[in-house]
């Protein structure tokens, strides 16, 4: 049932993605909390949705999200899940996503979206954990 809600949230977050990148936070949350196969499938799905919704160059977001999801899947068992570490790892994850996507496409990144996404990362992750797992932070 949780998987179904992830797809519904991705549909609900899509129109607000140009203000704050809620889909990147959702992908990060899924990668940290779900099994590896579903996390990779979900990140590929979100990348495809972003490619279809913002048709600049097809496949770039899917490619970037798959690479970053695979790397985060490999290192997620090595870091402690405390708030400062989660924000730092998300900062690196999101910075790499923005830089790779914008360098490949040759566009200038929207820094206001980047800053808002980093600021609201931890509160949104806490709310998602409270909704799905009934706790504020998982260890």
For the stretch 73-105, pLDDT in tens is 999 888 877 888 888 999 999 998 888 877 777
Kindly report the three-state secondary structure assignment for every residue of 12-41: HHHHHCCCCCHHHHHHHHHHHHCCHHHHHH
Query: Using 50, 70 and 90 to split pLDDT, how confident is the model at 138?
Result: low
């Amino acid at each position: 049932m949780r998987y179904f809600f992830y797809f519904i949230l991705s549909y609900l977050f899509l129109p607000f993605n140009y203000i704050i990148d809620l889909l990147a936070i959702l992908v990060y949350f899924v990668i940290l909390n779900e099994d590896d196969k579903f996390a990779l499938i979900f990140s590929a799905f979100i990348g495809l949705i972003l490619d279809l919704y913002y048709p600049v160059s097809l496949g770039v977001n899917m490619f970037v999200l798959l690479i970053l999801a695979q790397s985060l899947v490999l290192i997620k068992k090595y870091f402690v899940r405390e708030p400062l570490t989660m924000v730092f790892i998300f900062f690196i994850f999101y910075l790499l996503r923005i830089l790779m996507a914008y360098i490949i496409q040759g566009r200038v990144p929207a820094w206001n979206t980047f800053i808002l996404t980093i600021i609201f990362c931890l509160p949104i992750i806490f709310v998602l954990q409270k909704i799905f797992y009934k706790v504020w932070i998982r260890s």
